[in-house]
Each structure stands twice: as structure tokens, then as C-alpha cells.
Structure 1
Amino acid sequence: MNKRKIGEEKEFLALKYLTDRGYKIIKRNYRCKLGEIDLIAKKDNRIIFIEVKYRSTSKYGSAIEAVNYKKQMIIRRVARHFLLTNYHTLEIPVSFDVIGIDNNKITHIENGF
């Protein structure tokens, strides 16, 4: 199975995990010239930007560890673009979550950065 298909499957697993917990997914794979955000959701009057990472092995660390400072800064810039493009303001409560999937074990870090 190719990496893209595996990524799509794991992202869907994360999506199901979130919707089962009351998150309303408003956008998948939001892309702009600055980068991409895997999932954008709403919950408790907040917009939540969610990065999903998958690792089949711990050889290079856990999935959560892959969301490093550089990746976080890209996600923040893309989130800003999303808010300004869709809501025309930055005055909206937001948070940044990380979902790591190691094999099939899901770790969800709310307000991860």
C-alpha cells in the first residue's frame, strides 16, 4: 500500500475519533501557498487546527514527536490564512491539537502548541 493511501486511512481514523468526541469537522486538507492543515474542526465555540501524524514504527520517534517547531510555525501561518480568508478576522478563539497514530494507537494532545 502506498504512503498516500495509508495517510488517508489514518487521517480518516483521526476524523472518526474526533467526531465521536463531539468535534464538527469543517475542513479536511486545507491547502494554501503557505502549507497545509490536515483537519479543521469546531468544538465549544473554538476553531481547532489539527495535525495528524502516523508512524508504523518508533525507529524515528513517535508520531507526536514529528510535529516539531518548524511544522508548528507552518501550521500557525496556514491557520492565520484560513481565518482571514474565511472569517475576515483573527479575533476567534482557536487551538492547535496534535493527533499521533503509532501503529493503531491514537494519542490526542489538545492545545498541543
Structure 2
Amino acid sequence: MVKIGKRKEGYLQEEKAVQYLKKRGYRILQRNFYSRYGEIDIIARDKEYLVFIEVKYRKSERGGHPVEAVDVRKQGRICKTAQWFLKRYGYNQETPCRFDVVAILGDDVNLLRNAFEYQC
């Protein structure tokens, strides 16, 4: 078994998530958007929604399900980063937004739409 680094594994899993989302009609706008508040893995369009997407991967459930890693603290950082993105790129308050999570457990990819509400 070949062991790869965490960073490379993260990139590979994020790429898997991007391909999964594209097959479901998402249009990828940006990847790895950083602000002083944190990072958003993927920003995409899904019909009228601007979607901020967190990708979480686990080899197994031994360390918990991937969705569990998107706790309230992480959600807050994602919301603040999303707010900065909206301001930076001139989106108005009427822009419909959503927060999704792509949970990858082993080889299984699952999308949790509207995984949490905006909470800044």
C-alpha cells in the first residue's frame, strides 16, 4: 500500500468532490478561497444559489463521520469567510446562498445540501 501525504490526499478528495458536484449540475466558480477568517473549499453555482461547500474526508468512521467535523465553530468560520467573499465580489444581500457539505467516507461520496444555516 502506497502512503501519500495529507495535503495530496486532501487535494485528491477535493478533486473527487468537484467531479461529483459537476455531474450534479454545479458550476464551480472558485476553489480554496481564503480570508483572514478561514477557507472555503469550493464555491459554486447551483441554479440560482451561490453555494459555499466544505469537503470532509475520512478513510473510515473510526475517527467519526466526516460531517461531524463540520462543527459549530467551523460553520462560523465558513460563514464569516462567505460574508467576506460576498462583499469582495460585490454580491448584494438578495443573493440566495446555501452551505453544503460533501462528505467522503472511504470511496462513498455524499452531498448534504443546506447542511447548516448562516450564523454570523
TM-score, normalised by the number of residues in structure 2: 0.91
How high is the sequence identity, in percent, across the aligned residues?
40
> In structure 2, what is the equivalent of residue 10 of structure 1?
13
Taking the TM superposition and a 5 Å limit, the aligned residue runs for 1:55-70 are: 55-70=58-73
User: C-alpha distance in 2, partners of 1:60/1:103?
Assistant: 12
User: C-alpha distance in 1, partners of 2:77/2:13?
Assistant: 21
> In structure 1, what is the equivalent of residue 33 of structure 2?
30
Give the superposed CA RMSD.
0.9
Any stretches of 5+ residues in structure 2 without a counterpart?
none
**What amino acid is aligned across from residue 16 of structure 2 in structure 1?**
L
| Deviating 4+ runs (over 3 angstroms) | none
Taking the TM superposition and a 5 Å limit, the aligned residue runs for 1:1-113 are: 1-113=4-116
Using a 3 Å threshold, how does the CA distance of structure 1 residues 88 and 45 change in structure 2: closer, same or farther?
Answer: closer
Question: What count of residue pairs does the alignment treat as equivalent?
Answer: 113
How far does residue 60 in structure 1 lie from its aligned partner after superposition?
Answer: 1.6
How far does residue 75 in structure 1 lie from its aligned partner after superposition?
Answer: 0.3
